[in-house]
Amino acid sequence: MLLKKVDKITHKLALKYQVNSAQALSKMKHQLVILILEAHKGILQLIRRIIDYISVAIEAVRDGRSMPRRLKKYQE
């Protein structure tokens, strides 16, 4: 469901896009509290709202990247 929504949003763009997992996890932490507190209002409606909320956090996937990025944080 989430992937279909991202594809629908980005189908006219040149690059392929995917959900940014770090941002999605961050947003899910906030939504989990709301999901627990408002569970009596209907789980499906809350899940749809979370999917809409997460589908905004997307990033481009660049094909053909020949070398992995160097991350200074992990270099020793």
Give dist(CA 58, CA 75) in Å, integer: 27
Write the pLDDT tens digit of every residue in 18-67: 888 888 888 788 778 877 887 777 778 878 888 888 888 787 877 776 66
What's the pLDDT score for residue 18?
81
Residue 73: predicted pLDDT: 64
Of residues 70 and 23, which shows the higher confidence score? 23
Q: What is the secondary structure of 34-70 as a DSSP string? A: HHHHTGGG-HHHHHHHHHHHHTT-EEEE-TT--SPPP
Boundaries of every domain in the chain: 2-63
